[in-house]
Structure 1
Amino acid sequence: MIEYPSEPDTPRSHLPFSPSTKLGDLIFVSGQASVDATGKIVSDTFEGEMRRSMENMRKVVETAGSDFAHVLQTRNYVQDPADIPLFNKIYREYFSEPFPARTTITNCLGTALRYEVECIAVAKPKA
């Protein structure tokens, strides 16, 4: 059975998609951008947008019963290739070795966003 984990403070979009879906122990997190709790885009520097996006993703992953240590793969969308060195620096603050599998695409977002991230995670084992 497919689940759609959500809490009142889970970041939401006005677009037609769920923040995450869960099937068994697999968690699929939709793209998380620099948005507030209502889905309104919050423009910022690349670093500010990336950190807000990562924290939004953290909330969605935790709501689904996991954490960043159980992320299997990330897909990252970076508007400006010049931001890749900063992206790698900040990414290391959220993930450590062994790193999740990763794809990073540049020159792919419209003018409203500098960064977006999505992931696949596995639920934390029950204690």
Structure 2
Amino acid sequence: MKKTIVLYLSLVLIAFASQAQSKDETAVAEAVEQLKAAMIKGDKRALNAITNDQLNYGHSSGIVEDKAAFVDNLTNGNSVFKSITLTDQTITIVGNTALVRHILTGETANKGQAGQVKIGVLLTWIKEKGKWVLLGRQAYKVS
């Protein structure tokens, strides 16, 4: 009887832990979608809300921006996304930190110049006051 109770409680704890991680993974995936939408719209308020004040945003070209430059470039026409498609996304959560990897393809109109982009991306998200916010991003060129 004791073994059955211990086994049952162990299974309940495992199920609970799996469910908690699944909820965080869902929340992180939703945050990624919110970021994507804000980038396409050039929505200053949404971009500020979804990013940490210490944002470190690395481009595949090697340029690294802080939060102010990231938001400014997406709202002043320097960096315009007409569309963004994310594929091959994985989410790994460790405590209050999440790592998201995906391939980003999209249409751009940077400074009015039409273009295409296909890059690999690593995003670092942290959970602050129950909300996932972007702390870091590094993009790299893919063939």
TM-score (norm 2): 0.25
Higher helix share: 2
Question: Greater Rg, structure 1 or structure 2?
Answer: 2
Larger relative strand fraction: 2
The one of the two structures with greater contact order (alpha-carbon pairs below 8 A, sep at least 6) is 1
